[in-house]
Amino acid sequence: MATVDLTTPPPPPSGLLDALPRRVGLTLPELRRAARLAGGAPLPFEARYDARGVEGHPLEDRLGHTRTSTEDEAFAAALATLHDPADTLARRGLLERDVLDEGLAGALGLLATPTVAVDLDVTVDGVHARAWHREAGGAVATLATVDGVVFELAWFPATAWAIELSRAAMLPADRSPRGTTLPDAIDLPFELLDSAAEAVRSNRPDLLPVLAARHSGSAIDGGGAPIGDVDLASMLSALTIDPRGRLRVLGADVSGSETRVVGVVSWVLLADGWHALHPHRRGDDQRVDVRRVVADDLAGDLAFVLAEAVA
């Protein structure tokens, strides 16, 4: 797998424009049209529909519209209201006589032929965003969307990749962190965390103190001190009841003929901000290290997981 350094600060840019990624907003029809003009470059996702509409669902005639089919029709209706992509690309100077802007064509080509692929999935307060980052030869192209209708395409040197990764974990400016019972770091058995999450999913949060007592002394804080049963039950509540979002990053080596997943980063958004979940083993025990992090830590977290996976 190609080595990508996400932790070393980038060298000073030679000019202002060299330091800034180029970004283009594209609707789904524009993106598809541009990809076809860029040699039929495949996009890093499977689009569900096209502007012609949605195919019928077999059981709808008998069962009526489902929530999914209603959302599908709304999505297709939104696409149908958009202007002809060739016209809009031309008006914006991205297309001239079926010749695509050179930078845009290069970014789409990079999305289609990378050596390292990183997929991000982020949910914050019910808003779901997805992003695809692709790297090859010291260059990176990214594609991101919230609604599947409008996308942001960006391309930049790999030295700026760490900054771009942190954008995915940036929280809304109006979201002020609140206090929490969690310390900066806690290490606990995976079985305990999994059981606590299942208890909450089953509407049995009253079982959290029972689980904490059953695993008494098994959880430790950042200093290595055991956490008492009462505090542990409160921490389990914060981890399983209070989450307001999640972030998942999957890294893969796509330099060969087969894709090989080499690392996954998982964060959870709690009342006080992001916390990283780092699974590890201690002897025969599977454990999870839960550690408070900020958006700027994402690149380093990803680099650590990838390096550990390919070591």
Q: What does the domain layout of the chain look like in residue ranges? A: 21-54+63-167, 185-310
Residue 48: predicted pLDDT = 43
Residue 54: predicted pLDDT = 39
Q: pTM of the prediction?
A: 0.81
pLDDT band at 255 (very low <50, low <70, confident <90, very high): confident
Residue 169: predicted pLDDT = 92
Distance CA 167, CA 160 (A): 11
Residue 308: predicted pLDDT = 55
Please tell me which residue, 121 or 222, carries the higher pLDDT value: 121
Q: What is the 3-state secondary structure (H, E, C) of the chain?
A: CCCCCCCCCCCCCCCHHHHCCEEEEEEHHHHHHHHHHCCCCCCCCCCCCECCECCCCCCHHHHCCCHHHHHHHHHHHHHHCCCCHHHHHHHCCCEECCEECHHHHHHHHHHHCCCEEEEEEEEECCEEEEEEEEEECCEEEEEEECCCCEEEEEEEEHHHHHHHHHHCCCCCCCCCCCCCCCCCEEEEEHHHHHHHHHHHHCCCHHHHHHHHHHCCCCCEECCCCECCHHHHHHHHHHHHCCCCEEEEEEEEECCCCCCEEEEEEEEEEECCEEEEEEEEEECCEEEEEEEECCHHHHHHHHHHHHHHHHC
Averaged pLDDT for residues 42-68: 53
- pLDDT of 47 over the 50 cut: no
- pLDDT of 74 over the 80 cut: no
Averaged pLDDT for residues 121-132: 93
Please tell me which residue, 83 or 186, carries the higher pLDDT value: 186
Residue 172: predicted pLDDT = 76
Residue 10: predicted pLDDT = 45
Q: Percent of the chain having pLDDT more than 90?
A: 56
Most confident of 16-25, 31-40, 237-246: 31-40
